[in-house]
Amino acid sequence: MDKTEKLLKKGFSADKVSQILIYTGAAVTADAIELAVKKGIDIVYLNRMGMPFARTYSCEQENSASIQRWQVRAYDNEKGVFLMSSMIGAKMRNQAYFLKSFARNRSNEPLMISAERIMSLSERIKELAEEWGYIEEARNSLFGIEGEASRVYFQALSNIIPEAVYSGTRTKQPPGDLFNSMLSYGYGILYTEVEKACILSGLNPYMGFLHTDMPGKPSMVLDLIEEFRQPVVDRAVLNLVSKKIVTENYLKPVEGGFYLNRSGRHKTLEAVSERLAKVVNYRDLRHSFSSLILQQARGVAKYLTGESSNYAPFVYWR
């Protein structure tokens, strides 16, 4: 029995629980749901990819109508364009810093070259941001630049991840290898944290700027999550793979690819949760990544309403 399975069999005080994740096939009683709601505990239901398909909230949500009115207006003005470019620019800089950290530790020149290429693409966003006149123009340009940066980034990771567990490119639905399977599951866990932060901040999770509006698509969550992929999930997953804590034995074959089996999901959940709880120095203060996500969501809300004149995206250079 591994560490996670032992924890699952233990009891916990409701005052020490902030979130409950329910896997497909598991169940929770109505009494437990009622207690969680009273204690403000988030309950999230996950599919086998780690993506949430339902969530339990209290009926007594804080009124966020004012913030969401500003959120709607920003879709058609310069604030929406600024938020899009800021979040994607931050993601690309995080990709570059992530690669640079490994390049320095391993004296790996190809990694450093890739990092510099991504950094130059992020500078391109700064140059173009002043030229974009409307949100559709900005979105189309950003997706093109971000796509090139991601291609360089995922190819560069093949320099440090064994070919047996990583194909050298990002694959999804279903993932094609161990590393991609863990990334997808880890991003699903991160998604739940970002969605919670949006709701607590008064933002509408389905009303974003970069990702287009579609029924059931949480565009705001998908926008804000970009700032935290590398510092939280990629770092945690790469550590599991490089130390062989999770191996190909944790995969379950499906048509066209693989999913993590139960043990693989537990290991990934444990590692990403520990990363979210990790306290780091950021802007001369100590924060957990979880609290930083909430801080960024509140920063978006303040910028939209005019309470703050600027929005500073999260860039992690360590």
Does the residue 318 lie in any domain? no
Does the residue 32 lie in any domain? no
Give me the tens of pLDDT residue by residue for the chain, a chain 318 residues long.
455 455 445 666 666 565 677 766 677 787 777 777 666 676 777 776 666 677 676 655 555 889 999 999 998 888 998 999 999 999 999 999 999 999 999 999 999 999 999 999 999 988 887 776 667 778 888 989 999 999 999 999 999 999 999 999 999 999 999 999 999 999 999 999 999 999 989 999 999 998 877 777 899 999 999 999 999 999 999 999 999 999 999 999 999 999 999 999 999 999 999 999 999 999 989 999 999 999 999 999 999 999 999 999 999 987
Structure tokens at 315: 């860039």
Confidence at residue 18, expressed as pLDDT on a 0 to 100 scale: 59
DSSP string, 234-284: IHHHHHHHHTTSS-GGGEEEETTEEEE-HHHHHHHHHHHHHHHH-EEEETT
Does the residue 255 lie in any domain? yes
Find, among 215, 270, 202, 205, the residue nearest to 237 by Cα: 270
Q: Give the CATH number, domain containing residue 246.
A: 1.20.120.920
As for how many domains the chain has, the answer is 1
Does the residue 7 lie in any domain? no
Whole-angstrom distance, CA of residue 300 vs CA of residue 199:
12
Confidence at residue 6, expressed as pLDDT on a 0 to 100 scale: 52
Amino acid residing at 57: Y
**Domain extent at residue 128:** 66-305
Structure tokens at 190: 């991160």
Whole-angstrom distance, CA of residue 303 vs CA of residue 309:
6
For residue 56, report the phi and psi dihedrals to the nearest 5 degrees.
-110, 125
Does the residue 188 lie in any domain? yes
Confidence at residue 14, expressed as pLDDT on a 0 to 100 scale: 63
Secondary structure of the chain: what % helix, strand, coil (to 5)?
A: 60, 10, 30
Does the residue 53 lie in any domain? no
Confidence at residue 15, expressed as pLDDT on a 0 to 100 scale: 60
Confidence at residue 45, expressed as pLDDT on a 0 to 100 scale: 78
- First and final C-alpha spacing in the chain: 35
Give how far Cα 302 sits from Cα of 59, 294, 311, 312, Å.
24, 12, 8, 11
Model confidence, pTM: 0.83
54-84 in b/e form (b: 16+ CB < 10 A) is: eeeeeeeeeebeebbebbeebbeeebbbbbb
Asked if residues 184 and 50 have their Cβ atoms less than 8 Å apart, the reply is: yes
Does the residue 22 lie in any domain? no
Which three-class secondary structure string do you get for 84-124?
A: HHHHHHHHHHHHHHHHHHHHHHHCCHHHHHHHHHHHHHHHH
Confidence at residue 240, expressed as pLDDT on a 0 to 100 scale: 97
DSSP string, 44-56: EEE-TTS-EEEEE
- Look up residue 160 and give its DSSP letter: T
